[in-house]
Structure 1
Amino acid sequence: MLSRGGLYSLMSSFLVVLLAMCVTGMLEQSGVLISLVEPLVKRTHGSTFRITLATMVIPLITNMIGSSMLLTSIVAGSLMKNVFKNNNLAPENLSRNIEDAGTMGAPVIPWNSNTIFCSQMLAVSPYAYFPYVFLAF
């Protein structure tokens, strides 16, 4: 585990998660995240469908900006956890929405790290393998 790079190979993923948690914590404590989510939440008017839709849009946007599925999960969860709590929605649904849009949506964004990895392993362009990412669609 130590001699073949087991822990060392996980360091980049660990650093992404750690930095995402630090940035999200700073933005949350400074009130920036609340000001970003508040206009979106006001448009939902407490509708479960609209909250779900908003929760699925945020990870897609975060994936487009951050190009990392790990960052998406942390930021989207931090942004929407209070919205789900205030509207008496189960936190399991928040997790499911982030998974559906963030994790499954990552391979269809051409500059995302997941797409780059898949296209390089298959030795094709990102657009050439899109028809085979039917689970994301």
Structure 2
Amino acid sequence: MNKIADTRKKKGLTLKELGAMVNLGSNTISRYETGKREPKLETWQKLADALDVSVPYLTGLTDSVPDGLTFDEIQAVIDDEIAMIGLIDKLNDHSNPVTNAEINGRRKTAYDLKNTFEFQRIKKAADGRTSDGSNK
């Protein structure tokens, strides 16, 4: 069951007010709430935006409301993660010459370079501390 009615009521909106926000009649909103009619994806997005929740929450696919994130912001995060996974796959391709580098005559993969940079970052942080762990 979707959460249109519960969310609308929690926001203190009437059927008519929500309908006006998304350019739909109160009868249509009522049918969506009771499950007699199913909104198109575009309408789900309009309803979610108007009610300031995510589409998955409104459709009942998730019970949690993200902290202030809109659907577009969530989608942007997902898109970034997918792009990052693709980049990591390319960087981990040891046969790809673009992802390999030669440092001091030794062949280094992107994985090796990442570990080297991470080690240097940790070492710099440690160098800024005394043996008892306090800052110099």
Sort the TM-score into its range (normalised by shorter chain).
under 0.3
Structure of greater Rg: 2
Q: Name whichever structure is richer in helix by fraction.
A: 1
Normalised by the length of structure 1, the TM-score is 0.27
